[in-house]
């Protein structure tokens, strides 16, 4: 079994995922305080470890891998941010060549969802319950035609709550409106939960992300904190087949983090000089 494919997918999940579009020209972008990376200054960094196991039909572990990934924030602008990600992978005790990549990512446009340039439309309001809190939300929706059929995305947006996006839904159906081909849901399930790090106890919130399709499903529980660069503190994921048998499972843990890195600041100077050529 090729574990590198699964590992790369998990590393990709280290960056926050959003269904939201990139901001259009002149469109208001997400407030810096709301973004897991943009709220920090260049130089911020974090290191995570991901352990992945593959299981056979009896539920026994037939292979495992360990991935360590260090992410450095090297630049932030009004519409984008840049990360340098250094990843090393160990499979069956053998360390593979490390991979270094530079990613320049758009800041999600979760402000002005119903603006003239947005594909999202305000379709109503709702109340979202988390623990003992009832949070008023605006519900935004967009529809896209895909090669397989139609995809509908809904965003539950709470303007006076942080994080402001409390739930996201995405359903893809066939051209004839048959049973869903793919369902993706991500929602906050707990807030103000204490979590102990080496630096002390920090407040966190927890999310659950579930994806269902004809061939199986994936479930992930994540712990986030606004005090940590990148936001993600821990993650537990399991991948199941159509019969509900666990095929692969993984855990992510935060190893270390900081607000300053000489490496990131040096890379920032190189990044900006290349971009300005």
pLDDT tens digit string along 176-230? 767 788 999 999 999 999 999 988 999 999 999 999 999 999 999 999 999 999 9
pLDDT at 13: 45
pLDDT at 237: 98
Residue 264: other Cβ atoms inside 10 A:
24
pLDDT tens digit string along 129-161? 998 899 999 999 999 888 878 999 999 999 889
Alpha helices in 67-155 (DSSP H): none
Q: Is 91 helix (H, G, I), strand (E, B) or coil?
A: strand
**Which range is least confidently modeled, 31-35, 97-101, 128-132, 186-190?**
31-35
Is the pTM here over 0.75, yes or no?
yes
- Cβ-contact 88, 68 below 8 angstroms: yes
**Which range is least confidently modeled, 161-165, 237-241, 265-269?**
265-269
Rounded to an integer, the average pLDDT of 245-249 is 98
| For the chain, counts of helices (H) and of strands (E) | 2, 14
The number of distinct structural domains making up the chain is 1
Spell out the residues 6+ positions from residue 126 whose beta carbon is closer than 8 angstroms to its own: 136, 137, 139, 156
pLDDT at 275: 62
pLDDT tens digit string along 222-239? 999 999 999 999 999 999
- Cβ-contact 137, 157 below 8 angstroms: yes
pLDDT tens digit string along 46-88? 999 999 999 999 999 999 999 999 999 999 988 889 999 999 9
Closest CA to 205 of 176, 241, 234: 234
Computed from CA positions of residues 57, 1, 71, 48, in that sequence, does the dihedral angle turn out positive or negative?
A: positive
| Tokens, residue 245 | 């048998």
Per-residue pLDDT for 173 more than 80?
Answer: yes
Domain range spanning residue 32?
A: 3-275
Rounded to an integer, the average pLDDT of 259-264 is 77
Alpha-carbon gap, residue 69 to 88, rounded angstroms: 7
pLDDT at 178: 72
pLDDT at 31: 52
Per-residue pLDDT for 109 more than 80?
Answer: no
């Amino acid at each position: 079994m090729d574990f590198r494919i699964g590992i790369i997918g998990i590393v990709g999940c280290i960056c926050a995922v959003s269904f939201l579009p990139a901001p259009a020209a002149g469109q208001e972008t997400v407030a810096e305080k709301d973004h897991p990376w943009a709220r920090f200054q260049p130089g911020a960094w974090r290191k995570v470890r991901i352990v992945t196991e593959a299981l056979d039909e009896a539920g026994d572990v037939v292979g495992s891998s360990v991935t360590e990934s260090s992410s450095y924030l090297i630049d932030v602008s009004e519409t984008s941010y840049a990360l340098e990600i250094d990843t090393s992978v160990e499979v069956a005790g053998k360390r593979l060549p490390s991979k270094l990549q530079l990613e320049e990512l758009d800041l999600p446009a979760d402000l002005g969802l119903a603006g003239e340039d947005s594909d999202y439309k305000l379709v109503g309001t709702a109340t979202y319950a988390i623990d003992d809190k009832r949070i008023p939300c605006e519900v935004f929706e967009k529809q896209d035609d895909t090669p397989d059929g139609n995809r509908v995305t809904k965003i539950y947006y709470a303007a006076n709550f942080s994080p402001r996006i409390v739930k996201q839904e995405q359903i893809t159906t066939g051209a004839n409106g048959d049973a869903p081909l793919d369902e993706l849901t991500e929602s906050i399930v707990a807030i103000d939960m204490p979590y102990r790090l080496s630096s002390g106890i920090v407040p966190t919130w927890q999310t659950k992300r579930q994806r269902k399709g004809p061939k199986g499903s994936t479930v992930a529980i994540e712990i986030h904190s606004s005090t940590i660069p990148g936001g993600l503190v821990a993650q537990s994921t399991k991948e199941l087949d159509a019969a509900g048998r666990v095929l692969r499972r993984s855990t992510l843990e935060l190893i270390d983090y900081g607000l300053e890195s000489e490496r990131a600041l040096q890379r920032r100077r190189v990044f900006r000089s290349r971009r300005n050529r």
